[in-house]
Amino acid sequence: MNEEQRRDGEQAVNPSDKKSAKDYSQYFETVYTPPSLKDAKKRGKEEVAYHHDFKIDERFKEMGNGRSFYIRTYGCQMNAHDTEVMAGIFMALGYNAVETPEEADVILLNTCAIRENAENKVFGEIGFLKHLKRDNPNLLLGVCGCMSQEESVVNKILKSYPHVDMIFGTHNIHRLPEILNEAYLSKEMVVEVWSKEGDVIENLPKVRKGNIKAWVNIMYGCDKFCTYCIVPYTRGKERSRRPEEIIQEVRQLAAQGYQEVMLLGQNVNAYGKDFSDMEYRLGDLMDEIRQIGIPRVRFTTSHPRDFDDHLIEVLAKGGNLMDHIHLPVQSGSTDVLKIMARKYTREQFLELVRKIKTAMPDVALTTDIIVGYPNETEEQFEETMSLYREVGFEMAYTYIYSPREGTPAAKMNDNVPMDVKKDRLQRLNALVNELSAESMKRYKGQIVDVLIEGESKKNPDVLAGYTSKNKLVNVKAPKSAIGKIIPVKIIETKSWSMDGEAVETQTMAGVN
């Protein structure tokens, strides 16, 4: 695909072309190519287009009357937040939200493409949902999210899952009303996957999950092109929301009584790099958000490469900026990092950690790690283990490398057998467990602030919440504590959580 085509999303599949499934697949071959690093790197530096004119067309306002929707979400918090936007659009169309797919008139699977097993889960679910279509022929089944940006996935659904009614991409979410309308009218599968990626669409409706913590997008896309990763292809190029839009959204959330915001982006440290009219980066944004009266502010995910000194300086001011940074390292070996195209060395990463710890001595660092990268040697894996200990990470998400079609790493020969990869994952996980347990132990007997989110999943008699460092605490406290930040005395610590008692409860018990 050339740049012109990439820019002009409308040239992609046009939903009003009523073609058969077979025709669509031919159409894809000409305008929609699989992920290609060469093509994607040609991404234009053209201005990001901001749209503020989202409106539900009068024609569609009654569409959802008497109908209900259910969205199943896979993948990262960005996907979960997209689900909130789609739920907002459904509600604006008059649909009701339901809790199970069995009750729904429209089911959407908001998918993730990050690893093969994520995709397999979705295909399993699409197959499983077929029986609901048999029971209710009017049911609409849609597939959206990152998998629908992959040509191979779209072709597989067209060929093997004809009971799917709609497929739409991550750049097409705001087109949900039109896509639904088309699906109701058409007997064929509706496919709308734009490769258009230069847009930021504001004022989309949102129905947020809960009223305690809220996600706020600060940027979209990723231009880092780590050699293993599918995200730059499924989410498009990096584009930042304007600071005033973000600040206004955070202010509104504060006014509505939210206790925490999580600022979202695939690589939030690249925030503002795409502004051509001003020098304004994540540090500047955090410095402004710091002054908004919302108790807790977090961000995810950081890329070590763009983590600048100004950001560290601002984070060190504390206040509502939490003392926890999720900083994916992926590997402790400079050679592996090089093949991953992470563009930092082991030493540079350790230097960044040193700077962060100097400015924020009590910071909690967590990370993501991939083991079993193509041709990873035992020594290189050991370097990951030693780096983990040296940094003293308090938690990690760990993965076995999964080849993603179209990415440079998928073409590499790999001499590491799967059982070796599994063994490395186990060894790493044992270390992750050990350091997590250690980080928890330090709190025994201490009083920490916990944002109480609700009943514990395991035991409804106990409440659960998170500390500023994002550690899970099960708390004995009255239900009235839900939604509040309360001091909790830690009684017991485990590998992944702590048990505690609300300090007020103890005092009250003392009085009685």
Residues forming the site for ligand SF4 (CB under 6 A): 222, 224-226, 229, 231-232, 266-267, 303
Task: Work out whether 190 is an interface residue with ligand F3S (CB under 6 A).
Answer: no
Contact in structure between 226 and 341 (CB atoms under 8 Å): yes
User: Is 76 marked within a binding site?
Assistant: yes
Per the listing, tokens 């097409």 go with 172
> In the sheet where 296-300 sits, what is the strand order?
213-217, 260-264, 296-300
Contact in structure between 119 and 111 (CB atoms under 8 Å): yes
Which partner from the list ligand SAH, ligand F3S, ligand SF4, none does 143 bind, CB cut-off 5 to 8 Å by kind? none
**Measured distance CA(25)–CA(32) in Å, rounded:** 10
Task: Work out whether 495 is an interface residue with ligand SAH (CB under 6 A).
Answer: no
- Judged by CB under 6 A, the number of residues near ligand SAH is 17
At its nearest, how many Å lie between ligand SF4 and the CB of residue 407?
9
Q: Which residues pair with 330 in a beta bridge?
A: 369
Task: Work out whether 232 is an interface residue with ligand SAH (CB under 6 A).
Answer: no
Which partner from the list ligand SAH, ligand SF4, ligand F3S, none does 225 bind, CB cut-off 5 to 8 Å by kind? ligand SF4
Label residue 497 exposed, middle or buried (CB < 10 Å: 0-12, 13-18, 19+): middle
Residue of the chain from 28, 225, 401, 466 that contacts ligand SAH (CB under 6 A): 401
Torsion of CA 148, 151, 153, 158, to 10 degrees: 100
Torsional class of 454: left (φ above 0), alpha (ψ -120 to 50), beta (otherwise): left
**Residue placing its CB nearer to ligand SAH in the complex, 298 or 404:** 404
Tell me which DSSP letter residue 388 carries.
H
Which partner from the list ligand SAH, ligand F3S, ligand SF4, none does 232 bind, CB cut-off 5 to 8 Å by kind? ligand SF4
Its sign, for the CA torsion 406, 409, 411, 414, is negative
**Residue placing its CB nearer to ligand SAH in the complex, 195 or 234:** 234
User: Is 226 marked within a binding site?
Assistant: yes
**Residue placing its CB nearer to ligand SAH in the complex, 227 or 468:** 227
> What is the radius of gyration, based on Cα positions, of the chain?
24
> In the sheet where 395-400 sits, what is the strand order?
324-326, 364-371, 395-400
At its nearest, how many Å lie between ligand F3S and the CB of residue 145?
6
Cα-to-chain-centroid distance, residue 154: 22
**Measured distance CA(190)–CA(183) in Å, rounded:** 6
Task: Work out whether 428 is an interface residue with ligand F3S (CB under 6 A).
Answer: no
At its nearest, how many Å lie between ligand F3S and the CB of residue 449?
30
Instruction: Count the neighbouring beta carbons within 10 Å of the beta carbon of residue 88.
Output: 16
- Judged by CB under 6 A, the number of residues near ligand F3S is 13
**Measured distance CA(243)–CA(263) in Å, rounded:** 12
| String of contacts with ligand F3S for each residue 29-68, x by CB under 6 A | ----------------------------------------
Axis crossing angle, helix 418-441 with helix 378-391, rounded to the nearest 10: 10
User: Is 229 marked within a binding site?
Assistant: yes
Task: Work out whether 366 is an interface residue with ligand SAH (CB under 6 A).
Answer: no
At its nearest, how many Å lie between ligand F3S and the CB of residue 84?
14
User: Is 112 marked within a binding site?
Assistant: yes
At its nearest, how many Å lie between ligand SAH and the CB of residue 231?
6
**Residue placing its CB nearer to ligand SF4 in the complex, 234 or 468:** 234
Residue of the chain from 35, 177, 221, 328 that contacts ligand SAH (CB under 6 A): 328
**Measured distance CA(500)–CA(490) in Å, rounded:** 4
For ligand SAH, the binding residues (CB under 6 A) are 114-115, 228-229, 231, 266-267, 301, 303, 328, 330, 368, 370, 399, 401-402, 404
* Binding-site positions for [4Fe-4S] cluster: 76, 112, 146, 222, 226, 229
For ligand F3S, the binding residues (CB under 6 A) are 75-76, 78-79, 112-114, 145-146, 230-231, 234-235
* Binding-site positions: 76, 112, 146, 222, 226, 229
